Amino acid sequence: MAKLIAKSPGAGLLPVRVGSLSLTEEAHDAITCVAPFQGQEKPVSAALKDAIGAALPGVGRVTGKAGARVAWLGLGQVLVLGPPVAPPGAAVTDQSDGWACLTLEGPGSRAVLARLTPLDLRENLFKRGHAARSLLGHMTCLFLRTGVERYEMLVFRSMAATAVHELTHAMQSVAAQRSGA
- CATH 3.30.70.1520 in the chain: give the residue spans: 30-96
Asked if residue 20 has pLDDT above 90, the reply is yes
Please give the pLDDT value at position 180. Answer: 73
User: Residue 103's beta-bridge partner residues?
Assistant: 24, 152
Please give the pLDDT value at position 179. Answer: 84
Asked if residue 5 has pLDDT above 90, the reply is no
Q: Which residues contact residue 69 at a Cβ distance below 8 angstroms, ignoring those fewer than 6 apart?
A: 54, 62, 63, 80, 81, 82, 144
Alpha carbon distance 16, 22 (integer Å): 6
Model confidence pLDDT, tens digit, residues 46-99: 999 999 999 999 999 999 999 999 999 999 999 999 999 999 999 999 999 999
- CATH 3.30.1360.120 in the chain: give the residue spans: 16-27+97-179
More confident residue, 93 or 5: 93
Domain 16-27+97-179 sits in which CATH superfamily?
Probable tRNA modification gtpase trme; domain 1 (3.30.1360.120)
**Domain at 30-96: CATH code:** 3.30.70.1520
Question: What pLDDT band is residue 178 in, cutting at 50, 70 and 90?
Answer: confident
State mean pLDDT over 96-114: 97
Percentage with pLDDT > 90 across the chain = 93
Report which of 108, 144, 158 is spatially closest to residue 26, judged by C-alpha positions: 144
Question: What pLDDT band is residue 133 in, cutting at 50, 70 and 90?
Answer: very high
Please give the pLDDT value at position 181. Answer: 62
State mean pLDDT over 158-177: 97
Furthest CA-CA distance within the chain:
57
Residue 4 CB coordination number (10 Å) = 5
Query: Would you list the DSSP string of 132-157?
Result: EEEEETTEEEEEEEEETTEEEEEEEG
